[in-house]
């Protein structure tokens, strides 16, 4: 039985167009680009949700957000409950002898019973809520009083003045270096989520850009430096070839006004969806299509680009299968190993999304969107829109009138999706 190491690098509000290997002309990401060159770059890789908590639930459980029991952005109060008890990729690997750790953002519950150690992780360094100041590690948003939110397992710790992206990298590298057994290292950077903070030397690299693009590029470059350090320690310890590395983002770029630091009540445009329509909070492509990179030199091809649509919930069953383990029978994701290994896979799989009344389904080149919003907090526009993503990736033209048979077929899938959502929501939870 193979026992590969696993590293999942999960960024926060990183857009489809925010990396060099995805076409960014401004952001320099040499280490992430090199990861793509050594592995597989997915052009049609999706989050299961256009916002953070549901996306993370799908990643760890292999289930749709509604099936996993987390459909909305979870709060920051210390009594906040989160992910219901269930099997995760960490608990499955831990039961089979892997050492497991998460570094960075959790955002699946704040109260002690919702902390990472209850879901298969041996160790957690990071924060439990949705975002913190990068230097004080205090949560200021959505709570009546500021909350300090930095933890080592169940112990609150303090590292005032230290840039959190760098701290996450340092702790992840230490874990890899000090672990002899096969491991799962989940590196959940909060960058480039607001507040928009970056060290001076990182800002100086992009001094030629307008401030909103400059700070975004600086924050992403610090993540890129971290990826380089993680790859370096794997190489130095002789484990790079037999380590599965997955790199992605929880959703598309944020247009929230709170990204600004001057109090402006205007939409933020520092992040890039690469021309795709929509932002974080939208089921248009810009809110859900994100970078997706897979690397496993011992078993997967290098320098390959795949355009087969796949989702974050596929990570868990794919990794568990690669580890020789049997995923739970009730998960919704699929094993991507045949696809990633080079098999000619052209399925008619239907991908589905829901967020706060917005609905979307994709089958092949066709995508149906119902009652969409353009961004988080934006108004929903009633209606049904059909897009041909093969001809119109940016979703500029509704072709429902031109393809009534396609519309009818996708409406049937939408009805089945809505029925599944209701069944999951009615299921009893602990």
Question: Residue 268 — pLDDT band, cuts 50, 70, 90?
Answer: confident
pLDDT digits (tens, 9 = 90+) for 361-383: 999 999 999 999 999 999 999 99
Mean pLDDT of 210-219: 95
Question: Residue 260 — pLDDT band, cuts 50, 70, 90?
Answer: confident
Q: Which pLDDT value is given to residue 145?
A: 79
158: pLDDT strictly greater than 90: yes
71 closest CA partner among 353, 376, 369: 353
- Is there a contact between 293 and 35 (Cβ–Cβ < 8 Å)? yes
Listing DSSP states for 40-69 in one string gives EEESSEE-SSSSHHHHHHHHHHSS-HHHHT
Q: Which pLDDT value is given to residue 93?
A: 98
Residue with tokens 């988080």: 376
- In the chain, what are the domains? 5-340 (3.40.720.10), 350-426 (3.30.1120.10)
Question: Residue 2 — pLDDT band, cuts 50, 70, 90?
Answer: confident
pLDDT digits (tens, 9 = 90+) for 4-38: 999 999 999 999 999 999 999 999 999 999 999 99
Question: Residue 270 — pLDDT band, cuts 50, 70, 90?
Answer: confident
pLDDT digits (tens, 9 = 90+) for 53-79: 999 999 999 999 999 999 999 998 899
For residues 50 and 182, give the distance between their C-alpha atoms in angstroms, rounded to a whole number.
32
pLDDT digits (tens, 9 = 90+) for 378-414: 999 999 999 999 999 999 999 999 999 999 999 999 9
Antiparallel, parallel or unpaired: β 45-46 and 310-311: parallel
Which pTM does this prediction carry?
A: 0.97
Count Cα neighbours of 249 within 13 Å in the Cβ-side half-sphere.
34
């Amino acid at each position: 039985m193979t026992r590969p190491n696993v590293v999942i690098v999960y960024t926060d509000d990183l857009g489809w167009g925010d990396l060099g290997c995805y076409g960014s002309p401004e952001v320099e990401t040499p280490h992430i680009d090199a990861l793509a060159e050594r592995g597989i770059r997915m052009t049609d890789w999706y989050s299961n949700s256009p916002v953070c908590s549901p996306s993370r639930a799908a990643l760890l459980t292999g289930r749709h957000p509604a099936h996993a029991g987390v459909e909305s952005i979870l709060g920051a109060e210390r009594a906040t409950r989160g992910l219901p008890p269930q099997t995760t990729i960490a608990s499955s690997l831990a039961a089979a002898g892997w050492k497991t750790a998460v570094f960075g953002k959790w955002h699946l519950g704040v109260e002690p019973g919702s902390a990472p150690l209850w879901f298969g992780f041996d160790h957690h360094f990071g924060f439990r809520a949705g975002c913190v100041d990068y230097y004080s590690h205090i949560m200021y948003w959505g709570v009546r009083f500021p909350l300090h939110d930095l933890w080592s397992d169940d112990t609150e710790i303090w590292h005032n003045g230290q840039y959190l992206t760098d701290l996450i990298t340092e702790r992840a590298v230490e874990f890899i270096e000090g672990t002899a057994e096969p491991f799962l290292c989940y590196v959940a950077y909060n960058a480039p989520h607001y507040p928009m903070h970056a060290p001076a030397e990182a800002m100086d690299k992009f001094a030629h850009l307008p401030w909103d693009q400059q700070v975004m590029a600086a924050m992403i470059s610090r993540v890129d430096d971290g990826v380089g350090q993680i790859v370096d320690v794997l190489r130095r310890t002789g484990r790079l070839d037999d380590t599965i590395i997955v790199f992605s983002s929880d959703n598309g770029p944020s247009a929230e006004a709170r990204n600004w630091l001057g109090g402006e009540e205007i939409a933020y445009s520092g992040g890039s969806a690469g021309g795709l329509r929509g932002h974080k909070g939208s089921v248009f492509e810009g809110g859900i299509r994100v970078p997706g990179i897979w690397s496993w030199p011992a078993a997967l091809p290098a320098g390959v680009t795949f355009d087969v649509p796949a989702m974050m919930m596929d990570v868990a069953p794919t990794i568990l299968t690669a580890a020789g383990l049997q995923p739970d029978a009730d998960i919704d994701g699929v094993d991507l190993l045949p696809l990633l290994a080079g098999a000619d896979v052209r399925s008619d799989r239907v991908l589905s999304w829901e967020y706060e009344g917005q609905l979307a389904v994709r089958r092949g080149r066709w995508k149906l969107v119902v009652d969409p919003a353009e961004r988080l907090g934006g108004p929903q526009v009633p209606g049904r829109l059909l897009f041909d993503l093969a001809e119109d990736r940016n979703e500029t033209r509704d072709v429902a009138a031109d393809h009534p048979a396609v519309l009818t077929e996708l409406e049937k899938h939408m009805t089945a999706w809505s029925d599944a959502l209701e069944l999951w929501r009615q299921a009893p939870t602990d």
